[in-house]
Chains A and B, each alone.
Chain A
Amino acid sequence: QVQLVESGGGVVQPGRSLSLSCAASGFTFSTCAMHWVRQAPGKGLEWVALIWYDGSNKYYADSVKGRFTISRDNSKNTLYLQMNSLRAEDTAVYYCARDRGRYGNTLPDYWGQGTLVTVSS
């Protein structure tokens, strides 16, 4: 069955960096686009970033553009999110989610359990 397991969350000071990983299993990772979606405490879902199945195209929400970088290693079935210049408003549970297709426009189907990132001094 499809499994997505995020890791790398924690407490980080404003302005610092953090890297998240998402280990995928149970499906052919290299044929699916992947998303990062976050949820601030008590708030709704916010789309963060998308990467195509082959890594050739990446898209970002305006709120993270220029600070976050999404990447993937299809040989390791792993998705990444490098987060730089973190702000208090980046505090959230970060979910990785599989898209139903190769290009991300068919939207997520399976989601991981999430990893909490807390930005605080």
Chain B
Amino acid sequence: QSALTQPASVSGSPGQSITISCTGTSSDVGNYNLVSWYQQHPGKAPKLMIYEVSKRPSGVSNRFSGSKSGNTASLTISGLQAEDEADYYCCSYAGSGAFVVFGGGTKLTVL
């Protein structure tokens, strides 16, 4: 059950856009449109930001968007705000063997 690969950190200035990548394999990200993204502030529980690659739950800002190409999923945050500073995790369904796999997490710093 190998973790999905995310960059350890990304940064951007307020108002800018950033993209976080999440690279898996043809057994997980590449084989299912079942990728979710979570935001986690320090000491808090994760919060769902994107599900099924590109769908936003009710109440999540439309500044957050998701996409996928091949074995790599991506989370884009536009119009960066200070409150977006957090850790972000991708997650994919990986079939009935491994079932669920997470990325290692990306720390977003808003400069």
Contact = CB atoms under 8 A, between A and B. Distances in A.
Bind each other: yes
Interface of A: 35, 37, 44-47, 50, 59, 61-63, 95, 97, 100, 104-114
A47 B3 CA distance: 10
Interface of B: 1, 3, 32, 34, 36, 38, 40, 44-48, 51-52, 57, 87, 89, 91-93, 96, 99-105
Nearest to A63: B1
A100 B3 CA distance: 22
A108 B36 contact: yes
Given A111-B46, A112-B45, A114-B45, A44 B34 contact: no
A107 B1 contact: no
Contacts of A104: 99-100
B34 A45 contact: no
Given A44-B89, A109-B48, A50 B99 contact: yes
Contacts of A61: 1
Contact of B45 (A35, A44, A46, A111): A111
B46 A45 contact: yes
Contacts of B100: 35, 47, 50, 104, 107
